[in-house]
Amino acid sequence: MAANALTPGIVAGRLSPRDYATNFTDLHPPLDPHEAQVAADRCYFCHDAPCIAACPTAIDIPLFIRQIATGTPEAAAMTIFSQNILGGMCARVCPTETLCEEACVRETAEGQPVRIGQLQRHATDRLMAAGGHPFTRAAPTGRRVAVVGAGPAGLACAHRLAMKGHEVVILDARQRPGGLNEYGIAAYKTPGGFAQAEVDWLLRIGGITMRTGVMLGRDVTLADLRAEHDAVFLGIGLGGVGTLGTPGEDRDGVADAVGFIADLRQAADLAALPVGRDVVVIGGGMTAIDAAVQARLLGALNVTLVYRRSRERMNASRYEQDLAASKGVHIITNAQPVAIHGNGAVREVEFEYVDDDLTPTGVRFRLAADQVLRAIGQRLAGDDLPALAQGRIAVTGAGRSSLPGVWAGGDCAAGGEDLTVTAVAEGRDAAEDIHATLMAEG
Amino acid sequence: MADLTTNFIGITSPNPFWLASAPPTDKEYNVRRAFEAGWGGVVWKTLGEDGPPVVNVNGPRYGAVWGADRRLLGMNNIELITDRPLAVNLAEIARVKRDWPDRALVVSLMVPMNEGAWRDILLRVEDTGCDGVELNFGCPHGMSERGMGSAVGQVPDYVRQVTQWCKTHSRLPVIVKLTPNITDIRQPAQAARDGGADAVSLINTINSITGVDLDLFAPEPTIDGKGAHGGYCGPAVKPIALNMVAEIARTPSLAGLPISGIGGVTTWRDAAEFLALGAGNVQVCTAAMTYGFKVVQEMISGLSQYLDEKGLGSVQALVGRAVPNVSDWQQLNLNYVTKARIDEDLCIGCGRCFAACEDTSHQAIAMSPERVFSVRDEECVACNLCVNVCPVEGCITMERLAPGTIDPRTGREVRAEHGDWTTHPDNPGACAAE
């Protein structure tokens, strides 16, 4: 008998084929040209615009919106890509409600910001659909740079370096490039194979060799890379996941949210992907939200997201919290797990309410669960790395590590915000610094 | 509720909103719909002399200028006068007037520059029972190439001559519709008055090309790769029309000449502005062509509410109230000193006032790192540019410096008395104040 929403356990095929298709289409369908015109007309073309200051990649937002409004979305896309070569993905995944759109003066004025993210997508989609690649390489410099990690930081760094005329090789441990764009972002934010299409488009600049399935520390050492290249950029992300330290964590059905999301992103057939009937997600960041929402979209009957602090302290934006609630995710705050019960497989998770400073209150409750997803943060994995600070690679300036000739950026580097757009900015800026350094060496 | 009944040169209508001579008034079907919707009157689309009707283009007749969200800001047209047989139009006019006796029905006319042609058509038009005629000396396209329309309106002697013929051969009230495609609107207005016109109406449309097709390299609207200038109308032309109406209204030799105001009237407020500048009624076209006849309901309710709020009992009480305040530049009070004031609570921080002032004006707005904008009185000349570019209504205002205070820009005391250029010490031609 086919599974349905009431089938207990972690099973596949809870929904009809149509439901899977509907649930995982674009969260925000693209603007049509007239919608884009109307949205663009709302931009006030602010002086020294607050939205630019709020963008980690400092895209000239008023300029690109004016270029859309005047019927030249291709020029708008060039304004975007010249600052952020992953502007297409950022248009989809940036938490604009806490970045550019939060700073928009129309948010101040009337609580309705200009739809900057959607307009950015309108422009970048247009140029990317035109085929080819809009940037060209400078004359070859004869310098070779290794970029470790084909995520947003590594891709942005590699593209900028290639543009400057350097030869770049990108190494990535996974089978496909893209990093979190490919493995870590909710499917409904980037449907249609966009992440791979974007990587393909980016690589068309030339001068970049992509080597996947190559892991730093396993297949190659940092020392080798330094010996064979004029510079090395580390954009390796956070490969390790945290554990709860809760009794019963080893029971069947307890897994990491990042793995759940990665499996979902790589699944050829969503109907073959198993999901629990009663899913409990522990954590309060974007990964927790993405996992919880997608569990619901896969057909889980009950999905509860439990976070140990208050709503205000959640790393996920209010917008993301509301999105989860609208998809039927139940959010419980100020509760932390104290035990995972079951016999072999998990059956219940026991929580205790805590104060904001995590002081236990003595009040406990249990949630039925056949699947528990941990989303309590990732950490840097691997040794053979430059010096660390706060558990990540210590950097100064534009990503300079403790080792000469080694730069780092993105989530693996200390001081970032764990956002795609921040990683892009750091990769880009490190590339500029690498270029300046190599050229100064003569 | 204020009474909107209007008596314009002896023609009464239940409200001052007439449809201008144009496509909406080309035939019985449309005009009946207009009256059912509440329009106070119509000027029937221009009739030409008997014989084969004119022929229109079979490509686009209209061009457009759009604002945000494709809001129609301006339109132009290359349509000619009515292309239906004269007898058909006359029969329809008679039927409509019979059925709608309380509405104004004026007939627009355009025939060649000879007395016989005008006499013949006037005799036939009188038989319809219409309330008056309007002489189309305005259309700038097509017919003007044949010596009619604006080709007449641009020559005051012709305006006077044709007006005289019409007053000679008809008892009907005569309204002369003026073209704005001239240097000084007072000249043809004076000629119309000299010829015995009962009123003038203005403005007709403005010579225009609405755009250029950058693929075809052809003006728009484009007919088979070519374009001819058309007549511009709609909200964009209102400021030009208001000025021309005011020029006539405030000229002593034209005092008392009734004016029917035309040009971009889209809302009750536009109409009220024309009335205040001396128009006795208004004529509307583009607003109806954009939104349909129902717009008149907003015009009626809005004007009525405004008159009530102002305690003005009738349309006539509003007519011309702003005319005494239309002045020459040289009479403006140079002792009236204002400064921009920015309301920080209303400010949304866009910085457009700063960019405008810093880049293109007087560097009179300061911007703090926290995006707080303030006026530097020592530089502010009160040009009003910041007010104009501010997206928040009422956020920036111009406030007068009290007499006796020192203007930080000039270091001079603000004088209480009026002082203008005619008596200013820097004016080499100034007469000593008496």
Cβ-contact B47, B109 below 8 angstroms: yes
The chain-wide mean pLDDT, for chain B, equals 96
**Is the CB of residue A41 less than 8 Å away from at least one CB of chain B?**
yes
- The residue ranges of every structural domain in chain A are 33-129, 144-239+380-441, 241-378
Cβ-contact B111, B122 below 8 angstroms: no
Cβ-contact B332, B424 below 8 angstroms: no
Which residue has 């719909």 as its token pair? B33
Residue scoring higher pLDDT (B25 or B149): B25
Task: Kindly report, residue by residue over A263-281, the tens digit of the pLDDT.
Answer: 999 998 999 999 999 999 9
Please, is B64 exposed, middle or buried when counting C-beta atoms within 10 Å of its C-beta (0-12, 13-18, 19+)? middle
Per-residue confidence (pLDDT) for residue A416, from 0 to 100: 79
**Is the CB of residue A49 less than 8 Å away from at least one CB of chain B?**
yes
Task: Read off the pLDDT of each residue in A22-40 and give the average, rounded to a whole number.
Answer: 92
Cβ contact A47–B350 (<8 Å) = yes
Out of A37, A41, A47, name the one closest to residue B355 (CB): A47
User: Which two three-digit tokens encode residue A258?
Assistant: 């990042």
Q: Which of residues 100-159 of A touch B (CB under 8 A)?
A: 105-106, 108-109
Instruction: Indicate if A144-239+380-441 has the same CATH topology as A33-129.
Output: no
Q: Residue B413 carries which DSSP code?
A: B
**Model confidence band, residue B69 (pLDDT cutoffs 50, 70, 90):** confident
CA pair distance A156, A85, nearest whole angstrom: 6
Inter-axis angle of helices A116-129 and A61-69, nearest 10 = 60
Residues of B within an 8 Å Cβ radius of A: 68-70, 348-352, 354-355, 367, 371, 391-392
Task: Read off the pLDDT of each residue in B355-384 and give the average, rounded to a whole number.
Answer: 97
Closest among B73, B116, B124 to B235, alpha carbons compared: B73
**Structural domains present in chain B:** 6-325 (3.20.20.70), 329-423 (3.30.70.20)
* Radius of gyration of the CA atoms of chain A, in A: 22
Task: Read off the pLDDT of each residue in B258-280 and give the average, rounded to a whole number.
Answer: 98
CA pair distance A398, A392, nearest whole angstrom: 15
Task: Kindly report, residue by residue over B229-258, the tens digit of the pLDDT.
Answer: 999 999 999 999 999 999 999 999 999 999
Task: Kindly report, residue by residue over A327-356, the tens digit of the pLDDT.
Answer: 999 999 999 999 999 999 999 999 999 998
Closest among B283, B275, B256 to B104, alpha carbons compared: B283
Cβ-contact A171, A233 below 8 angstroms: no
**Model confidence band, residue B130 (pLDDT cutoffs 50, 70, 90):** very high
* Interface confidence (ipTM) of the complex: 0.84
How crowded is residue B95: how many other Cβ atoms within 10 Å of its Cβ?
A: 15
Cβ contact A46–B352 (<8 Å) = yes
How crowded is residue A403: how many other Cβ atoms within 10 Å of its Cβ?
A: 17
CATH no., domain A33-129: 1.10.1060.10
Reported in sequence order, the residue ranges of A68-158 that DSSP labels E, i.e. its strands, are 144-148
CA distance B257 to chain A (A): 44
* Radius of gyration of the CA atoms of chain B, in A: 25
Answer whether residue B431 shows pLDDT above 70: no
CA pair distance A386, A225, nearest whole angstrom: 13
Cβ contact B350–A37 (<8 Å) = no
Per-residue confidence (pLDDT) for residue A1, from 0 to 100: 57
How crowded is residue B213: how many other Cβ atoms within 10 Å of its Cβ?
A: 13
Task: Kindly report, residue by residue over A76-87, the tens digit of the pLDDT.
Answer: 999 999 999 999
CA distance A48 to chain B (A): 7
Tell me, yes or no, if B390 is annotated catalytic: no
**Is the CB of residue A394 less than 8 Å away from at least one CB of chain B?**
no
Cβ contact A47–B349 (<8 Å) = no
Task: Kindly report, residue by residue over A173-231, the tens digit of the pLDDT.
Answer: 999 999 999 999 888 888 889 999 999 999 999 999 999 999 999 999 999 999 999 99
Task: Kindly report, residue by residue over B181-211, the tens digit of the pLDDT.
Answer: 999 999 999 999 999 999 999 999 999 999 9
Give percent of chain B above pLDDT 70.
99
B229 Cβ neighbours under 8 A, 6+ residues apart: B140, B141, B207, B208, B209, B219
Cβ-contact B318, B7 below 8 angstroms: no
Considering only the top CATH level, what class is A241-378?
alpha beta
Is the link from the previous residue into B121 a cis peptide, with omega within 30 of 0? no
Q: Which of B130, B139, B233, B386 does the annotation list as catalytic? A: B139
Per-residue confidence (pLDDT) for residue B160, from 0 to 100: 98
CA pair distance A388, A365, nearest whole angstrom: 39
Q: Measure Cα distances from A31 to A25, A125, A265 in Å.
A: 15, 11, 24
Fold held by A144-239+380-441: FAD/NAD(P)-binding domain (3.50.50)
Per-residue confidence (pLDDT) for residue A408, from 0 to 100: 98
Q: How many helices (H) and strands (E) does chain B have?
A: 13, 20
